[in-house]
Amino acid sequence: MKIHLRKSTLFILLISFSLLSGAQKVNNFKAKDINFQTKSFNDLKGSKLTIIDFWATWCKPCIQAIPKLSFLYKKYKGNGLEIIGINTDSPRNSAKVSSFVKIHKMKYSILRDSDSKLARSLNVSAFPTLFIVNSENVIVYMHIGFKIGDEKIIEGEIKKLLNES
């Protein structure tokens, strides 16, 4: 698995190193969407690649990443790419999520993880954290944080991985 890290803390590096020790698979999971309907990973995943993006409404880098991810979704959806945004806002902030999704024109699937159970299962310790998962549910790329220009790195990985599949 390839990992892209911005200059981060030692803790994040240690978590990332633990992910490198073996190919981590994403097991099928279920979560509520913004309409409180239960959805599963297997129902939402792409035929070739799935981006799982952990984000929060209060996270400024997440807010910067969202329009870039929306652009990539629109560009590569027809090539077998799906995006699943996983919102990690606390239950106290959950009322904000639906309007936030509408305001930011997020057309991809959004699931809720207010208890951070999914985030913990994938060792997410910073926001945003993005995973690219292949058709066999193996995490093949991870990106922690976001700054303008990172979308080019992510798109490069998408292109490379789509060409390999």
Query: Cis ω on the peptide bond leading into residue 128 (within 30° of 0)?
Result: yes
- State the Cα–Cα distance between residues 16 and 140, nearest whole angstrom: 13
Q: Can you read off the two tokens belonging to residue 141? A: 């790329």
Strand partners, 25: 138
Give residue limits of the domains in the chain.
25-164
The 10s digit of each residue's pLDDT in 16-45 is 444 444 579 999 999 999 999 999 999 999
Q: Is the pLDDT assigned to residue 15 strictly greater than 70?
A: no
Q: What is the mean pLDDT of the chain?
A: 90
Global pTM reads 0.86
Give the pLDDT score at 9: 39
The Cα 121–Cα 46 span in angstroms is 21
Tokens at 83, concatenated: 């995006």
41, burial (CB in 10 Å: exposed 0-12, middle 13-18, buried 19+): buried
Tell me the CATH number of domain 25-164, given options 3.40.50.980, 3.40.50.720, 3.10.580.10, 3.40.30.10: 3.40.30.10
DSSP category for residue 96: H
Residue type, 1: M
Per-residue confidence (pLDDT) for residue 22, from 0 to 100: 57
